[in-house]
Every structure is written in structure tokens, then in C-alpha cells.
Amino acid sequence: MTVLKRWMPWKEQRTMSLKLQFVERAAQKGSNLSALCEEFGVSRQTGHKWLRRYRELGPLGLVEQSRRPDSSPGGTGEDVVLAILALRNQHPSWGPDKISRVLQRRLAADAPSRSTVVRILRRLGKVRRRRPPVRIWSVDGRPRVEVSGADDLWTMDFKGWWRAGNGQKCEPFTVRDAHSRFVLAATLLPGARGALVRGVLEQLFHQLALRARSSATTARPSFARGRAAGLRCSPPGWCRSAFV
């Protein structure tokens, strides 16, 4: 019920609760279906339909289906919707592609398109949206590294320096996780020397005790002159840098 309530309006939630009460009581041993239908104010045909859908699909079978197909020839029929839900419940690992192929074999010309299967599953909260992998692009425009999870790759960058009122040079330096884009460190350095970069990274690794691959990036071509070109992490808390 938790997933259903995320997208069901309040009035439909109340109707859903009544339906669940009905089928739970109807499923009890010795229950009188005719008396239950009269108590809940529904016909015996409706009561049998609720009970059948609940046995086939669980709580999802009690969701009120759209009546658009009655007046729209291009709409998705209730039987098709129930078939999609039944396949998904029987095979939770099946995605829209597999369900669409199975329905094409079973229903032939009446089978829904893949986009219709996706829309119905998404409407019922049965599709998990996956975040696409983050790509780190090289200078020539081709992807250099694909990042699929947090801490797979960290990026380092100098944002452009300025001089403070006292004439001191200020170099904003950041370290960021390439997947989540979470800023791990942001500090002002008096310069872009490798030793200063190493100090920030050693402190960061000591704090997080993390094994990671790192990549140094910059928006300024002059960064490569006497600055960190790459960094490797060996045991947690120890860093070995390569400088040019």
C-alpha cells in the first residue's frame, strides 16, 4: 500500500481502504459474500470482481482502472493493463522490453507498444529510473572515464585566482566527487603549487580514510606548469603525487 499511496489521490486512498477491508473479510473462512456486498453497498458482480483481481494481482488489482477505452478506440483496455501488471508481478526482474515482447506473442495485434508498457508501469510506480553514468570528457571531446558510482573518481580544479586587498594571491581550489558532484573540499590557497595541493589532498584522505582514483582537471592551460598532474592513493591516508 505504501507505493500506491504515493500517487493515489486522497479520495482514491479511502476507496482503496474500503476495497481492502472487503476482500480481507471476504477471504475469511465462513464469510458470506452476499451479506458483505450488501453491507458495503456493491453488487455481487462487483464483489466477485474485486476478490478475483485481488487474488490475481494483490492490492494493485483493486486500483480503479481508467474508463477511457469505452469512449476512445485508441485507449489501453483494462485487460491489457491487468496483463501488464500480472506479468510484472510474476516476474519482477522483467523490464518493459521483455514484457512487451511476451505480450506481442500472446496478444498479437492487440498487444500494446513498448512506450505504453513503460507509461503504465511508471504510473503504478513499477519502474525504477536509473541515473545515467557520469562521463569525464578529455580535451579532444572523447569520453576518458565512465563513472558509475560514488568515489569512483574525484576531480580537482583551480577556479581562477585573484588578489586580495592586501595584495596576496588567492587560488580557489576544489575537490569534487565526479558521480554525485558532491564538493569534498573547497579552500583558498596562496598559489597553485603542487606542495599546496598535496597538503589539501593528504588532509582529505586522512579525514575520509578512503581508497579512490583521482583526476586533476583545470580550466586554465597554464595549470600544467609546475602543478599537480595526477595523484595516486596507496594505503588509506597516504598519497603519492606525480608533478611536472
Task: State the amino acid at position 55 in one-letter form.
Answer: R
Q: DSSP string of the chain?
A: -HHHHHHS-HHHHHHHHHHHHHHHHHTSTT--HHHHHHHHT--HHHHHHHHHHHHHHGGGGGSPPP-GGGT-TTSPPHHHHHHHHHHHHH-TT--HHHHHHHHHHHHGGGPPPHHHHHHHHHHTT--PPPPPPEEEE-TTSSEEEEE-STTS-EEEEE---EE-TTS-EEEEEEEEETTT--EEEEEEESS--HHHHHHHHHHHHHHH----BEEE--S-GGGGTTSEEEEEE-STT-EEEEE-
Task: State the amino acid at position 27 in one-letter form.
Answer: A
Alpha-carbon Rg of the chain, whole angstroms? 30
User: How many whole angstroms separate alpha carbon 190 and alpha carbon 193?
Assistant: 9
Q: Which residue has the cell 603549487?
A: 193
Give 34-93 pLDDT, tens digit per residue: 888 888 888 888 888 888 888 887 777 777 665 544 444 455 677 788 888 888 888 888
pTM over 0.85: no
Give 114-173 pLDDT, tens digit per residue: 888 888 888 877 777 666 666 665 555 555 667 777 777 888 888 888 888 888 888 888
Give 185-239 pLDDT, tens digit per residue: 888 888 888 888 888 888 888 777 544 444 444 444 333 333 333 444 433 333 4
Q: Which residue has the cell 592586501?
A: 166
